[in-house]
Amino acid sequence: MTREPDHRRLLGTFVALLVLTSATWGLSTLPLGSFQVAVALAIALAKATLVALFFMHLAEAPRVFGPLLAVPLALVVIFVGLTAADVATRGATPGRADASQEPLRAARLDGSRAPPPPLRQ
């Protein structure tokens, strides 16, 4: 295998992807709380960007390819962001009459087969 600039760039991208994958796994074991989701998704985004730029050659593609990817990505942010914001700012899950039961249900999520707790009146 000859060591051409293209090869070096692909190999560098590959190594970076492996490092970032390991970093994602390592960070997931740390108690980051609510930052955990943000950190994991930020690294995933960084990896996908590397794949798009160098494996998919977007870095050397004509300018017209940029908006073609940027527009759907912006739409994804809108779809996912608005869905999350909508659900987060409602008091209860749609279809659930009584939001006060939520903590009771969540408390049984450890896998135990505890009897259902009494409903709050």
Partner 1 sequence: MRSGRLHAPYADLAQQGHAARLGMWVVIASEILLFSALFALYAGYRMAEPDVIRAGARRTSLGLGTTMTYILVTSSFFVAMGVAALRRGVRRACVAWLLAAAASGVVFLGLKATEYHEHLAHGLAPGSHFAAADPTGGGLGLFFALYYVATGLHALHVLAGVIVLAILALGVWRGRWDAAYTAPVELGGLYWHLVDAIWLFLWPLFYLLR
Question: Would you tell me which residues interact with partner 1 (CB under 8 A)?
Answer: 1, 4, 6-7, 10-11, 13-14, 17-18, 21, 24-25, 28, 36-37, 40-41, 43-44, 47-48, 51-52, 54-57, 61-62, 64-65, 68-69, 71-73, 75-76, 79-81, 83-84, 86-88, 93, 105-106, 108-113, 116
- Name the region of 62 (left: φ>0; alpha: ψ -120 to 50; beta: rest): beta
Q: How far is the CB of 66 from partner 1 (least distance, A)?
A: 10
Q: How far is the CB of 17 from partner 1 (least distance, A)?
A: 5
Residue whose CB is less far from partner 1, 29 or 121: 29
Residue whose CB is less far from partner 1, 112 or 121: 112
- Please check whether residue 27 is in contact with residue 43, taking contact to mean a CB–CB distance below 8 angstroms: yes
User: How big is the CA angle at 15 (ends 67 and 35), to the nearest 5 degrees?
Assistant: 70
Nearest to 50 by CA among 74, 94, 18, 90: 18
Residue whose CB is less far from partner 1, 75 or 100: 75
